[in-house]
Each structure stands twice: as C-alpha cells, then as structure tokens.
Amino acid sequence: MKTISTCASLRRLCFLPAATVLLAASLATAQQRPPAVPLIAHNPYFSIWSMADRLTDQNTKHWTGTPQPIAGLARIDGKTYRFMGAEPRGVPAMEQTSLQVTPTHTIYTFQADQITLTVSFFTPALPKDLDVLSRPVTYLTLSASGQGNHDLCLLIDVNPVIAVDTPDEAVTWGRSRVQGMTVLNVGSRDQRLLNRPGDNLRVDWGYFHLAVPDADQAQTIESSDAMSSFVTTGALPASDDMDMPLMPRAHAAHLAVELPMGKPSATPTTHHVLLSYTEEYNIEYLGRKLRPYWQRNNMTVQQMLAEAESQYTSLEQRGTAFDRELTADLEKAGGPAYAQLAILAYRQTLAAHGLSADADGTPMLFPKEDFSNGCISTVDVLYPSSPFFLFFNPALLQAQLKPVLEYAALPRWKWPFAPHDLGTYPLANGQVYGGGEVTEVNQMPVEESGNMLIMAAAMANEMGNWQFIRQYWPQFTQWAEYLRQKGLDPANQLSTDDFAGHLAHNANLSIKAIEGLSAYALMARGLGKPDVAAEYSRAASEMAAKWQTMAIDGDHYKLAFDKSGTWSQKYNLVWDQILGLHLFPARVRQTEVAFYLRHLNKYGLPLDSRKDYTKLDWELWTATLADKPLPGTPDPFAAFMAPIGRWINEGPSRVPLTDWYDTITGRQMAFQARSVVGGVYIKMLADKTLAAKWRNRAEP
C-alpha cells in the first residue's frame, strides 16, 4: 500500500464534509497496516470488517470471517473500477492511497483517472450518549473531487447474505419510504427471534436496511443483476426482483444504490447512505426477551432512521471532535504505538456487546465471549474490559454488573462464590460454563469473586455513588468472606487464563483475592461501615505481607508458590495503584517490571514461563505497573509497547484484534474481536488527570 504524507492525507480528507476533517495532530496516528479494519461495528451480529491491506483485496466479512459482501464500484467516463470488495473479478481496482482509522471513523482514499474518491465509515459510538450508542446505524459517506471533465457515478451493492447466518437460508426483501429517504430492506424469511445460542453464528432475525436520502438524487434497486448491469451499461436494471423468497446463493436480490457524482472538480461532490440492522429483541435474560436500548420507548424503525438522518451533520461534528481529543490524549499517555492499539480496540470493545433495556428502561449491557465459547456476560471478560468503561462511562460497567448480580442473588445460584457467566449469547438464562449450577467442577471461584469485588469498588469509586453497592451487599459480603478463607493460597482451579489449564497456588490469582478483599473494605467505607472496612483492610494487608514471603524467587516472584524457577505477569497488581489500596510496597512492582523487561520477545511479553504465548490485555496491565521514567531515562512503558506495536503492523493473523497470540511468531492462538481488548485503556485509567478529564467530559 502506498504511503503518503500527512499533508497529502489532510488534503484528501478535505473532500469530506468539514465535520469529518481531522487535524494533522490526529493524523499522526495513522494506522500503518491494521490486522483488520472496522467498517461497521455495533454488536456481535452487526459487525463487518475488511481483513486485508486494501479494501479491494477481499470481500468484506463479518468479524467471524464469514463473507458479508458490501461492494463499491466507480464508473469514470464509462470505465468501471472497484473501490470496495474483490468482485466483480474482471473489474480493475482503484489505487488505494491512504487509510485512516480513528476511534469512530474509518476513512479510505482512492485514485483513478484524475478522480480522488474518499470513502468514510462513521459509527457514532459515543459512550455517554446511550441513545446514539445503541442506535444501529453506520454512515457511509462518499466524496469525490477531480481534475479535467470526467463523469463519475458510484454503486453500493449489499449482498443479502448480510441478513442471515448461512447462504442457504431464504430471504425476502422490499422497499419503504421514510421521511425523505428510500429504504431498501432484506431479512430472513423465517424470522425466528433469538432462535439459538452459539459462538460462530450470524443473526438471522431482524432486517438490514440501506437508507438513501432523496437529496442525493440516487437510483435504488433490489436486483441480483445490479452489479453486472452497472458494469456493462452504467445503469441499473429497470425493475426490482420480485420472485421471493430465495436463498442468497440462488440469486436473491441485492440491495443497490447508484449515486450520481457528476463531473467532480476541486469542489468535492459528497453523498451518504445509512447502513442499519434492526432486531425486535436482541437478548433473552432469565426467560424474558429484552428490546434493544434504542427501542425502550417503543421507537419504530422508521422513527429511528429518520432521527439518525436528521442528526447526520451534528453527529459527524461530535464524532470528529471526539476522535481528535481522544487521539491526542492517547498519544500523550502512551505514545504513537499505544494510540494505534487503543484506537483499534475502541469500536471492537463496544461492538462485542448487546445493549438492551430492562422492563423499566434501565440499560443492560451484555458482552459476548467472541471466538472463545460464545458465553454471555462472562465475569472474567467483564473484568479485563472494565478499564474501558471505567474511563469513558462507569454507568456502562454498572449495566454489565447488574444482570450478573441479579442472577447471583437468586436462590438457584447456590455457590458461595461469584458465577462465571449467564449463558451462551444471546440467551442469558443461567450459567453454562464448567459445573454451571450443578457442581463446582471447572468453576473459577477465586477468579470471579475477586473480579466482581474489584470491578464494583472501582465503578462506585469512579461514579462517587455507593447505592448500587448497597443493593447487592449480601452478595459482596459472601464473596469477600470466601476470598478471606480461600484466596491467599488458591487450591487447584482455573483462572481467567483457563486455556493454560488448572493451577494450584497461583501467585497472580492470590493477588486478585487480596486486592478483592481490600476492594470490599473500600466499599464498606463508602457505605459508612468503618468497622467492616477496618477488619477486611487489615486482613488484606496481612495476606499481602505473607504473599511476599511465599512468592519471592530471587530477582522476581513465582508463577506458583510451590514452583521455584517460574514466573508470570502479575497483572492483577495494577489495582493496588489505581484504587489506592497500597497493599504491596513499590519494590514488588519494580522488581517484576525489571524482570519482565529482560524477557520481552519479538512481539511481546509471554504470559508466564510455561509458553511463548501472551494475552494482549494483560500485557498492557503489566506495562502500566511501570513507574514513570525520570527525565533523560528510558521509558519502560515504551519498551513494553515497542514489540506490541511491531506485532500490530507485522502479525500474520488478519483478524479483528486477537488477545491471545504467540510472542515469537505473532500468530493468533485463538480468540478474536473480543471486548477484552478494552483492557488496554488501563493506561488511561491509571493517569489520574486524564481519567478525571474524561470522567467529567460532557458530550456536546
């Protein structure tokens, strides 16, 4: 892919509406070669990516890797080019000259025959505006400028497979009118709502919508021949296909729009369309179906699309300001490589969730454990992603904890420790992992109990409100007592790194238990229970002192208390600083960081001494343990980030960020598109000044 200067990038971005033009400071964090590029990123079902260097190298795909083609063609003076997708094969591709990925935008620039075309995908994922955040609309903006006297028209063609799990499912299609827009719709014939849980699945209930504003003077069609007709004649078929239902692989109608761009000049011509997917219900929770949050007041699809169109310009302005400000702060906190990583993690983190409304309209946020086992509301997935939500909007973390705590308070959950999950996405009807509600086999008692206590304390501390804690105090008390009895020297059990197998006497897991006890003491203090706070704070301090003696192994601390010559990332220690618990002396962090820096591989720091693989989220937690460098001395955080930055741009696995990869080869071990990458925002959360700024930042 051709590299272009920042100035050239800025000039080309000026072909977009003014609201989307990013300042040069923002452009400095250009994505050199992301492993995968987010195009549409809303939830586990409406999530489409480009997994190649160029947008024309492959067809667009669902995050699982299943093709969900959205094609883009440009016809210049009667000659057709591709700017999105690999089909039709015989049509040449425009030259891709730049790519910019920001927190809410993905912007490509192409050139051919003196025409410059800018293609922008904008998902207004603004974390404090839940109405906009939950709205399943991505704006696709196309802007062209040129020299000479060249005619240009564009085609966007959406394959109906976007609306089903597999191409052998029959679909139906149709068109609607919505307040100044033509809307093309496609969905499965059978519409079996929330029909099955699973991991490697696409949605097959609800409808995809391609909404085209009348002001664009576009032509729309629902035809399987749209692309071939455009390539050969420059026009769309004369009429819609009406023979349905059909399977997508059996020539079901595509949704297509032709956008006339006229004769682009130095003054750009710009059009946009709306890409949306709507479901009547998106989650089943404890036997009842929940509506998407945007529908909580019975808003119709028509009203939602009309409102989205009316807010297009203002949202572009807000999104651009958000991108500019966040990018600058990311670079300030961790440098360009860190900013690149955190930007790639931004939309991915949010898109791994379904945002629903409870019966009273309360937000409920449900993560899916993508390409792991498909579990919903996995507590040790909430935990690593929690820094993202604590930093941007702690109320969203509360919306994740609430369903887990409600479930744990039911008589059916009879264990003295916290649950692992609520089911398999999108059915949150009770734990399915390990022994579930039946046995303690393959449970994660210390792990999940510590996770819930730490997250709840951090959330209430950030919000400055402890009433949510009071509501579930019996559960927190039970889990704290469990950790006091079982946490210092954990028995043979799983931790969140369950792919590594069972481990007894896990030193890092012990840290989590100790920090969890102190977090409980913090909650007790917030609720005005000084005696309880003092008791558990004292217990945590005593355990921390014992830990240091049990774990020391010369110049580092052990993986397990009974295994000399081993080591592991002590990432759980990060909460000692962030929550101000001060259980462990600074030398523990400093000793570990110095040891880790001597064990960095080409693409990162191994998780522990057993294997060369690592976890991306934990690497950033570990790196955040490092002290700020003195002036003129090397920055240890930058040293941790250097191999990770290399991996982002060189790693061989072209998927949405994986969090489990080999630090020697860079290859993905498993997992992709998971919300746990939100854990990279731990660096921002640990910066008290930045955390306070973003906590108090109001959405315009």
- At 28, the pLDDT band (50, 70, 90 cuts) reads very low
pLDDT of residue 30: 45
Residue 20 has pLDDT above 90, yes or no: no
Side by side, the strands of the sheet bearing 427-428 are 363-367, 353-357, 288-292, 283-285, 427-428
- What are the pLDDT digits (tens) for 130-176? 999 999 999 999 999 998 889 999 999 999 999 999 999 999 999 99
pLDDT of residue 148: 84
Residue 445 has pLDDT above 70, yes or no: yes
pLDDT of residue 250: 83
Helices (H), 119-209: 130-134
Cβ-count burial 593-611 (b if 16+ within 10 Å, e if not): beebeeebbebbbbbbeee
- What are the pLDDT digits (tens) for 409-421? 999 999 999 999 9
Side by side, the strands of the sheet bearing 61-62 are 37-41, 47-50, 61-62
pLDDT of residue 35: 97
- At 7, the pLDDT band (50, 70, 90 cuts) reads very low
Which residue bears the tokens 């945007």? 294
Q: Cα–Cα distance between 183 and 209 in angstroms, integer?
A: 6
Contact assessment for residue 369 and residue 376, using Cβ atoms and an 8 Å cutoff: yes
Q: What is the mean pLDDT of the chain?
A: 94
Distant-in-sequence, close-in-space partners of 628: CB < 8 Å, separation ≥ 6: none
Residue 27 has pLDDT above 70, yes or no: no
Three-state secondary-structure class, residue 144: strand
pLDDT of residue 217: 85
Report DSSP state, residue 419. Answer: -
pLDDT of residue 26: 39
Residue 16 has pLDDT above 90, yes or no: no
For the chain, domains (ranges, CATH) are 6-280 (2.70.98), 585-700 (no CATH)
pLDDT of residue 29: 42
CB atoms inside a 10 Å sphere around CB 379: 27
In one letter, which amino acid is 204? D
Residue 5 has pLDDT above 90, yes or no: no
Residue 635 has pLDDT above 50, yes or no: yes
- What are the pLDDT digits (tens) for 249-281? 888 999 999 999 999 998 899 999 999 999 999
Residue 613 has pLDDT above 90, yes or no: yes
Please count the CA atoms within 13 angstroms of the CA of 254 that sit on its side-chain side: 24
Report DSSP state, residue 572. Answer: G
Give the mean pLDDT of 12-35: 47
Which residues are registered as beta bridge partners of 121? 106, 140
**C-alpha to C-alpha distances, 4 to 8, 143, 230, nearest whole angstrom:** 6, 19, 31
Residue 393 has pLDDT above 80, yes or no: yes
